[in-house]
Structure 1
Amino acid sequence: MPTWPEGNPARPEGDAGRAMLARMNEGHHEVLAAWGLSLIDFAGVSRALDVGCGGGANLVRLRERMEGGHVTGLDYSELSVEVSRRTNAEAIAEGRCAVTQGDVAAMPFEDAAFNLVTGFETIYFWPDVQAGLAEALRVLAPGGQLLICNEADDTNESACELAASVDTMVVYAGEQLVCLFEGAGFEDVRWQRHPQTGHVAVVGRRPLSVR
């Protein structure tokens, strides 16, 4: 069995997981999310999905950047779904938000259901990255955007040391993610690293027509 940091970031559980989700709703995670979302053109975005929604704070941040519309969260962890639903209880009651338990490699959504898909600090833990990206492409409407945003890439020594000790975690270079996006069928793929924080973001778009 892999040895995880307390709380298990791949699938939060127990009291330690609950505390970790609370930390992930604020602090440097908030800085990461604000920067990543600043790279997205929200014009016309009415249906957004956050994959690996954790404690649910990014669902709030997405709604703040959308004029109306609906935001959905997806997470593999039962605890994350519980916490996300509590964080977004008012919006859920008003029909502006939903949180679902599920697997990124087999999302329980219809084709072309969203204009935007985001994933913050989650792709490290996807067992099948190609399948996850293929699913993101499937659930995006033509022209829709995918944003993957990570706190660290392969230049971060501490992140790489952690990944080396856990056989289910991978820290990616920006160039690797670009290749994976393009291999899944995304176009206009671009990546950047924040010059101060070292945060990494990759954005791609579903083609308007499938070749």
Structure 2
Amino acid sequence: MGILKSFFGNTRKPEGLLGRWMVAGMNRAHAEVADWGMQYLPQTGIAEIAELGCGGGRNVRALLQRYPTAKVTALDYSEISVEKTRRVNQREIQKGRCRIVQGDVSKLPFEDARFDLVTAFETVYFWPGPTESFREVYRILKPGGTFLIVNESDGMKAGDDKWLSAIDGLRIFNQAQLSGFLKEAGFCDITVYHDQKKHWLCLLAMREDS
């Protein structure tokens, strides 16, 4: 049980050998729900993307493929995740289409109104606040920009409580809570997609076009 707890404890900030196993597993385990959420993104008009909590880098690659003329800046709190994402996306980094940085979502190292799209896959469970972190997302979005949140847990699934004790710092929010945090952060137009059978949750929040 100690080893399992240590392994799942790496979900928040992967470190060491267990962390390397964790980020490798993230790319496989989260692919289906990530692709489900991406289908709700706009097809065009996206030039600058921030992928926050980039994990193993698989979703960075998917975004680069979905928007072949866009640039993606990815950020993660974990040095191991940053290293893994760089390896997965090395070709696009060399082309100048992708940049990977280590940082904290509560104090993003980006200028105001830079990005057309900000994405967060399976990560807001750990964000400080999260209203304060969502305000940071609002700040770096251009007017009219979109913030995508995709979660595999909707806060209504029986048995989710076991993860709360296994993973330090984990908080599972339902759609009403997340919508409330987004509104408090300044977002206006919020659309929710909910797969009730799988308990998947996707929110699209827009920064008001000034």
- Structure-2-length-normalised TM-score: 0.93
**Is residue 138 of structure 2 the alignment partner of residue 137 of structure 1?**
yes
Aligned to 1:78: 79
Identity of aligned residues (%): 39
Q: Which residue identity is paired with 2:10?
A: N
Runs (5+) with no aligned partner, structure 1: none
Q: Deviations over 1:181-204 (max 9, x none)?
A: 111111110212114322111110
- Structure-1-length-normalised TM-score: 0.93
Q: Deviations over 1:11-65 (max 9, x none)?
A: 0011111111111112x41111101100111310011111000010100110111
Shift of 1:74: 0.4
Aligned to 2:40: 39
Aligned to 2:91: 90
**Is residue 154 of structure 2 the alignment partner of residue 150 of structure 1?**
no
Specify the SS of the correspondent of 2:41.
coil
Tell me the distance in 1 between the aligned counterparts of 2:137 and 2:187.
Answer: 10
Tell me the distance in 1 between the aligned counterparts of 2:170 and 2:196.
Answer: 24
Q: Which residue identity is paired with 2:39?
A: S
Runs (5+) with no aligned partner, structure 2: none
Q: 1:11 aligns with which of 13, 23, 32?
A: 13
CA RMSD, Structure 1 to Structure 2 (Å): 1.5
User: How many aligned positions are there?
Assistant: 206
* 8 Å contact from structure 1 (residues 7, 13) kept in 2: no
Specify the SS of the correspondent of 2:159.
helix
Structure 1 runs, 4 residues or longer, greater than 3 Å off: 3-7, 164-167
**Is residue 52 of structure 2 the alignment partner of residue 51 of structure 1?**
yes
Q: Deviations over 1:86-111 (max 9, x none)?
A: 11111001100000000001000011
Q: Which residue identity is paired with 1:90?
A: R
Shift of 1:168: 1.7
Aligned to 1:177: 178
Aligned to 1:104: 105
Specify the SS of the correspondent of 2:73.
strand
Change over 3 Å in CA distance of 1:117–1:110 after alignment to 2: same
Specify the SS of the correspondent of 1:193.
strand
